[in-house]
Amino acid sequence: MKTYLISFLTPIALIGAALRILLTPVFYTVEYNMPYFPADEYGFTKEDRLRWAKPSVEYLSNGADISYLGDLKFDDGTPIYNERELSHMADVKGVVLNALGVWTISLIILTVLYTLAKRGGWIPDYLNSVRRGGLWMIGLAAALGLMAGLGILVNPNIFWEFFSAFHHVFFEGDSWLFYYSDTLIRLFPIRFWQDAFLWAAVLALGGGAALAFGLRVKR
């Protein structure tokens, strides 16, 4: 039973690590500098996006309340986000913090189990379980990457249906839908999310492959 728990927690740990990387400035900075990234038809420059994305992403994992974003204003004094956007960002923060909490718990449990395995002499079983979890991660990441890739290369509706289903699981009603003129859509258009899911899949797949094929078990 404990070996399958290890295998189950391994993909969670890898997905959490990928999420944590995507929450750093590296991802959105690279994304905005991609030549294919869509321009904002309402006037945001790349510099504007970098300026306003920074506090928006930071808010998702810091300890601040929604005033962290609610106090942000454009140079003319108008708020960056409207009430609907602020409400959604508060909901997103809850989902992100819960996900990071699950990630932290998975790492703690894996660490505790590793300590027990070392003391109990079943390290080979532990490592084999991690390898199996790496293989599971490869399958999950391949499916996610395929979904995002098909949405980019073949038919945008493929990713949109997945994106909609994802939001219906974590958010109520249509609280996540906005006008194209809203700041959230201007900063984070659908292409941003396609690439986010794609890179999450790439990072998780790389981690899964490293564990599945890189670990050497000596009995």
Average pLDDT over residues 179-196: 95
* Mean pLDDT, range 103-125, rounded to an integer: 95
Question: Rounded to whole angstroms, how far apart are CA atoms 117 and 196?
Answer: 36
73 phi, psi to nearest 5 deg: -135, 150
φ, ψ for residue 79 (rounded to 5)? -65, 145
Q: Which residues pair with 73 in a beta bridge?
A: 79
pLDDT confidence of 173, banded at 50, 70, 90?
Answer: confident
Angle at 125 between CA 120 and CA 128, to 5 degrees: 150
pLDDT at residue 156 greater than cutoff 80:
no
Residue 152 in this model has a pLDDT that exceeds 80: no
Work out the percent of the chain whose per-residue pLDDT is above 90. Answer: 78
On average, the pLDDT of the chain sits at 92
Q: For the chain, which residues make up each domain, given as ranges? A: 2-214
> Poorest-confidence range of 54-68, 109-123, 157-171, 192-206?
157-171
Confidence of residue 6 (pLDDT cuts 50, 70, 90): very high
Q: What pLDDT score was predicted for residue 82? A: 96
Looking at residue 157, what is its pLDDT? 82
pLDDT for residue 158 is more than 60: yes
Greater model confidence, 110 or 150: 110
Q: State the Rg of the chain over Cα.
A: 20
Question: Residue 217 — very low, low, confident or very high, per pLDDT cuts 50/70/90?
Answer: low
CA dist., res. 55 & res. 45, Å (int):
17
